[in-house]
């Protein structure tokens, strides 16, 4: 009886040790395989990120390729049609061309550089309108803002809103106007553009193709959740307001 008891006891010990050994072996095997899978997934995630980033770069390059010739054409038409403003036009045009040729290929420029470009572009466009036309421009730029000279601004973002305002305004209407507001305060950039448009121009805006789409695409790809773009049309007045939290975007760039 005692012999059988010890045999059963030894057997149970053996089974227990074997079970523990088997469990440990399987656990180690699964752990090693899981580590391999994790490393493989990490490599795939890295490759996917590189592909996604390159795709976005290609898309942005294509947008820039389409945008710049269109911008050149509009600027040169303005200068050509108002020869009596030649000196001022060429001075502003030189600033704009320098920016396009030497800065727009950079991924980011400073708000200071983009704002100077935007103001020059506005002055060039103003040449083609009557001096008595209701044109309003207001800028509230805090030059002591910490991101004023930091490379956080995607170049040429201001083009679309400025060009659309001048392109679609009904300059012959008595109550026609263009109003542009530029602001940089507390690390936040705001650009608001309003204009009185004819019915024909409103319909053209709604059907407009590349310009509006390219701006939306660039903002989404570059700034993601750090921007808002609101467009409204009411009683013939078209308003577009762009806000970019450059401060939070800058923080993300520094710490990511």
- pLDDT score of 109: 95
Q: How far apart are alpha carbons 84 and 70 in whole angstroms? A: 24
The answer to whether residue 37 is domain-embedded is no
pLDDT band at 167; cut points 50, 70, 90: confident
The answer to whether residue 180 is domain-embedded is yes
- In Å, the largest CA–CA distance within the chain is 122
Least trusted range by pLDDT, from 7-21, 23-37, 110-124: 7-21
- CATH number for position 198: 3.30.565.10
How confident is the model over 52-60, as a mean pLDDT? 59
The answer to whether residue 24 is domain-embedded is no
Range of the domain at 96: 69-255
Residue with tokens 């010739």: 69
pLDDT at 59 over 60: no
The answer to whether residue 182 is domain-embedded is yes
- pLDDT score of 85: 56
- pLDDT score of 86: 58
The answer to whether residue 243 is domain-embedded is yes
How confident is the model over 82-90, as a mean pLDDT? 58
**pLDDT, greater one: 17 or 175:** 175
The answer to whether residue 149 is domain-embedded is yes
For residue 141, the SS3 value is strand
The answer to whether residue 53 is domain-embedded is no
**pTM, entire model:** 0.67
Q: What is the mean pLDDT of the chain?
A: 77
The answer to whether residue 81 is domain-embedded is yes
- Provide the number of structural domains found in the chain: 1
Angle, vertex CA 172, rays to CA 234 and CA 128, nearest 5: 105
């Amino acid at each position: 009886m005692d012999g059988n008891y010890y045999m059963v006891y030894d057997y149970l010990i053996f089974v227990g040790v074997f079970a523990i050994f088997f469990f440990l072996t399987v656990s180690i095997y699964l752990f090693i395989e899981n580590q391999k899978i994790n490393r493989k997934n990490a490599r795939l995630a890295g490759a996917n990120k590189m592909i996604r980033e390159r795709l976005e770069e290609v898309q942005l390059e294509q947008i820039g390729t389409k945008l710049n010739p269109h911008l050149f054409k509009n600027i040169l038409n303005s200068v050509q049609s108002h020869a009596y403003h030649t000196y001022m036009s060429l001075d502003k045009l030189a600033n704009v061309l320098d920016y396009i040729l030497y800065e727009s290929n950079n991924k980011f420029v400073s708000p200071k550089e983009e704002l100077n470009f935007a103001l020059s572009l506005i002055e060039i466009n103003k040449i083609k309108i009557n001096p008595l036309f209701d044109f309003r421009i207001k800028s509230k730029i805090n030059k002591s803002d910490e991101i004023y000279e930091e490379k956080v601004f995607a170049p040429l973002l201001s083009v679309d809103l400025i060009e659309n305002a001048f392109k679609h305004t009904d300059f012959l209407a008595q109550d026609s106007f263009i109003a542009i507001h530029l602001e940089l305060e507390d690390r936040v950039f705001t650009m608001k553009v309003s204009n009185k448009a004819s019915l024909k121009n409103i319909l053209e805006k709604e059907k407009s193709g590349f310009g509006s789409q390219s701006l939306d695409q660039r903002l989404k790809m570059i700034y993601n959740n750090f921007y808002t773009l609101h467009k409204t049309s009411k009683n013939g007045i078209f308003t577009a307001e762009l806000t970019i939290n450059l401060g939070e975007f800058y923080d993300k760039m520094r710490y990511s």
